[in-house]
Chains A and B, each alone.
Chain A
């Protein structure tokens, strides 16, 4: 992991530019001139009578780093499912920028438009090598013909090497992803997200199963992404949230309970009652 730390220091250097982190891949059709990159308005969704999302409204500004916290079952993952097209809500609206209606788009179209997702349970392509996982995720035309005649060019190879270094898996580039440890899979999935280079990253519980040091690195990485990218992080680990968050949204029973800085949120008596109180017991 020392190599990863070194790579990280490298990343923090101002004189050295990582173009793939500085600039998100272009996203045709995305219009953020009005400020927010993500509009979630009045979304409701129930599963067999259980209200997982209840009239939820949330805006994320372009370039923002947003943390979403909330007790188990608050609907955080379901919210990401709705944004990425995996779950259709019963009512409400979800827009990517002011022009792309997410509820009318398929999962793959949403991903192509520039929303990348890291799942709660790390999912990598187990029968492909680390290198191939990253190559598959690399931002490129996803058409059949392009894939059939795909050749990785020098620039792409450099980008791949950089991400490999960043996630500390250089030595394991030929290893099948299925034989990585849990933490390494987490990193590989984050690496894939970086290769995809989306405008908006949805990151579901990224530090689960990571060591303290790895958690720190992840925090640094997410902070460094903000600005050119917009990042929404769902996390349980309060320490982690405190270390990265500018704005925190607290979800409870499918809707927004409070929103503000970490201090504001923690001072909120309702939040203390439903979440922080629970956490301490």
Chain B
């Protein structure tokens, strides 16, 4: 019950909320670039390039959190396999970058290891950006659609669904680890040079990638917001709470679930595609089951079913992760585990829920 009230207050805006939203948009789209470009490097307010790119990566992860909140927070379907969709988008972009980094006719080592000196057939169309852009949506989208169709049609739910999504991402990881798969094996794809003719290391390209990531999150947020406030969104909430009642009311839950599930996977694909050029590498490690679990922690920490919570959760956890892994790389997994336990035990409604309680709006459940 308390959950729904959060939906109404935190996720969905009144005039004050819209103001906050515009301020956040201005900070991301205007303030950050100005601090990066206009403010002199000597100033303490200067944002160095690395920080801009780091923020750009965080924005991509925030988009993943939004996508996960749509399917988990609103529809009640916990996915522990969203890392697979994210990585697929990343691989598609990585293939485009790799393909065009060998414009002079050469091929990378991992292709030569396969015993060929030509690009394999499935690499060829990735030289075109339009094809790549299409695949960023289609590859995760089609995989999710097929997977979701069979799982939802068999009415697989709850923990069972979460487990098979783990199996999905694990299986994908094993597949991509193989050198024979032809996408770089365990080292993955790296050493990118150019994107649309611009050097990926160039500060201007980085700024552009950052801005596109920011626009993707803003667009993703507005789209998710539109969905969850529409009648379709209320059907999703109804499915979460009483799926069989939804059926007897005449809605086909299969369609509704497939729609958000596929959309969610596509958003992840976009996030992965924007993430990869800002990281400079994509490898099968992104498909490790733990990565997907971490994504669920972002949403749980921020507060499920609020959208805003997902954004905040992704920012908080990844901020901590950057810090902890820089200071003490070995401790991160313990840290994450502890965070998970704390959230489960003490913050069932996440950070957003905490805010509600402090402001006395949330009420007792």
Could you tell me the distance in whole angstroms from the C-beta of B230 to the nearest C-beta in chain A?
Answer: 5
Question: Nearest CB to that of B227 among chain A residues?
Answer: A148
Give chain A interface residues in 72-115, CB to chain B under 8 Å: 84, 86, 106-109, 111-112
**Which one of B242-250, B268-276, B288-296 contacts A?**
B242-250
Q: Is B241 an interface residue (CB 8 A)?
A: yes
Q: Is A47 an interface residue (CB 8 A)?
A: no
Question: Nearest CB to that of B250 among chain A residues?
Answer: A111
Q: Are B244 and A86 in contact (CB under 8 A)?
A: yes
Q: Are A111 and B247 in contact (CB under 8 A)?
A: yes
Q: Is A230 an interface residue (CB 8 A)?
A: no
Which of B3, B234, B253 counts the most chain A CB atoms within 10 A?
B234
Instruction: Give CA–CA (A119, B252) in the complex, Å.
Output: 19
Q: Are B245 and A148 in contact (CB under 8 A)?
A: no
Interface residues contributed by chain B, number (CB under 8 Å): 28
Q: A125-B242, A136-B238 are in contact. Are A108 and B232 (CB under 8 A)?
A: no
Q: Are A144 and B255 in contact (CB under 8 A)?
A: yes
Instruction: Give CA–CA (A106, B250) in the complex, Å.
Output: 10
Could you tell me the distance in whole angstroms from the C-beta of B274 to the nearest C-beta in chain A?
Answer: 26
Q: Is B256 an interface residue (CB 8 A)?
A: yes
Chain A residues with CB under 8 Å of B248's CB are 84, 86, 107-108, 111, 116-117, 119
Chain B residues with CB under 8 Å of A132's CB are 234
Question: Nearest CB to that of A198 among chain B residues?
Answer: B250
Q: Are B251 and A108 in contact (CB under 8 A)?
A: yes
Q: Is A192 an interface residue (CB 8 A)?
A: yes
- A108-146 vs B, CB cutoff 8 Å, 1 = contact: the mask equals 110110001101000111111000100111000011100
Q: A108-B247, A117-B248, A147-B232 are in contact. Are A125 and B241 (CB under 8 A)?
A: yes
- B59-87 vs A, CB cutoff 8 Å, 1 = contact: the mask equals 00000000000000000000000000000
How many A-B residue pairs lie within 8 Å, measured between CB atoms? 90
Question: Nearest CB to that of B245 among chain A residues?
Answer: A123
Q: Is A176 an interface residue (CB 8 A)?
A: yes
Q: Are B249 and A196 in contact (CB under 8 A)?
A: yes
Could you tell me the distance in whole angstroms from the C-beta of A196 to the nearest C-beta in chain B?
Answer: 7
Could you tell me the distance in whole angstroms from the C-beta of B89 to the nearest C-beta in chain A?
Answer: 24
Q: Are A196 and B234 in contact (CB under 8 A)?
A: no
Q: Are B238 and A125 in contact (CB under 8 A)?
A: yes
Instruction: Give CA–CA (A196, B248) in the complex, Å.
Output: 10
Chain B residues with CB under 8 Å of A123's CB are 242, 244-245
Instruction: Give CA–CA (A143, B254) in the complex, Å.
Output: 11
Chain A residues with CB under 8 Å of B251's CB are 108, 142, 147
Q: Is B259 an interface residue (CB 8 A)?
A: yes
Instruction: Give CA–CA (A150, B230) in the complex, Å.
Output: 7
Q: Is A32 an interface residue (CB 8 A)?
A: no
Chain A residues with CB under 8 Å of B235's CB are 136, 147
Q: Is B231 an interface residue (CB 8 A)?
A: yes
Q: Is B103 an interface residue (CB 8 A)?
A: no
Q: Is A149 an interface residue (CB 8 A)?
A: yes
Secondary structure of the B contact surface, majority rule: helix
Instruction: Give CA–CA (A2, B238) in the complex, Å.
Output: 31
Q: Is A71 an interface residue (CB 8 A)?
A: no
- A3-40 vs B, CB cutoff 8 Å, 1 = contact: the mask equals 00000000000000000000000000000000000000
Partner of A136, one of B227, B234, B240: B234
Instruction: Give CA–CA (A109, B5) in the complex, Å.
Output: 32
Which of A116, A126, A127, A128 counts the most chain B CB atoms within 10 A?
A127
Q: Is B318 an interface residue (CB 8 A)?
A: no
Instruction: Give CA–CA (A147, B245) in the complex, Å.
Output: 17
Chain A residues with CB under 8 Å of B4's CB are 127-128, 176, 178
Instruction: Give CA–CA (A132, B240) in the complex, Å.
Output: 15
Chain B residues with CB under 8 Å of A213's CB are none
Question: Nearest CB to that of B4 among chain A residues?
Answer: A127
Q: Is B237 an interface residue (CB 8 A)?
A: yes
Q: Is A264 an interface residue (CB 8 A)?
A: no
Q: Are B252 and A106 in contact (CB under 8 A)?
A: yes
Q: A136-B231, A144-B232, A147-B230 are in contact. Are A108 and B3 (CB under 8 A)?
A: no
Q: Is B1 an interface residue (CB 8 A)?
A: yes
Which of B5, B234, B242, B250 counts the most chain A CB atoms within 10 A?
B250
Question: Nearest CB to that of A195 among chain B residues?
Answer: B249
Instruction: Give CA–CA (A260, B78) in the complex, Å.
Output: 52
Q: Are A126 and B231 in contact (CB under 8 A)?
A: no
Which of A109, A126, A178, A196 counts the most chain B CB atoms within 10 A?
A126
Chain B residues with CB under 8 Å of A86's CB are 244, 248
Chain A residues with CB under 8 Å of B240's CB are 127
Could you tell me the distance in whole angstroms from the C-beta of A190 to the nearest C-beta in chain B?
Answer: 14
Give chain B interface residues in 163-181, CB to chain A under 8 Å: none
Q: Is A179 an interface residue (CB 8 A)?
A: yes
Could you tell me the distance in whole angstroms from the C-beta of A102 to the nearest C-beta in chain B?
Answer: 13
27 residue pairs of the A-B complex, CB under 8 angstroms, read A111-B248, A111-B249, A111-B250, A116-B248, A119-B245, A123-B244, A123-B245, A124-B242, A124-B245, A125-B238, A125-B242, A126-B241, A127-B7, A127-B240, A128-B234, A132-B234, A136-B234, A136-B238, A136-B249, A142-B250, A142-B251, A142-B252, A144-B256, A148-B227, A149-B230, A150-B230, A150-B231
Residues of B in contact with A (beta carbons under 8 Å apart): 1, 3-5, 7, 227, 230-232, 234-235, 237-238, 240-242, 244-245, 247-253, 255-256, 259
**Besides the contacts A108-B251, A112-B250, A147-B251, what 8 more A-B pairs have beta carbons closer than 8 Å?**
A86-B248, A108-B252, A109-B252, A125-B238, A127-B4, A136-B231, A136-B249, A149-B230
8 closest Cβ pairs, A-B complex: A111-B250, A150-B231, A127-B4, A107-B247, A147-B232, A108-B252, A125-B238, A112-B250
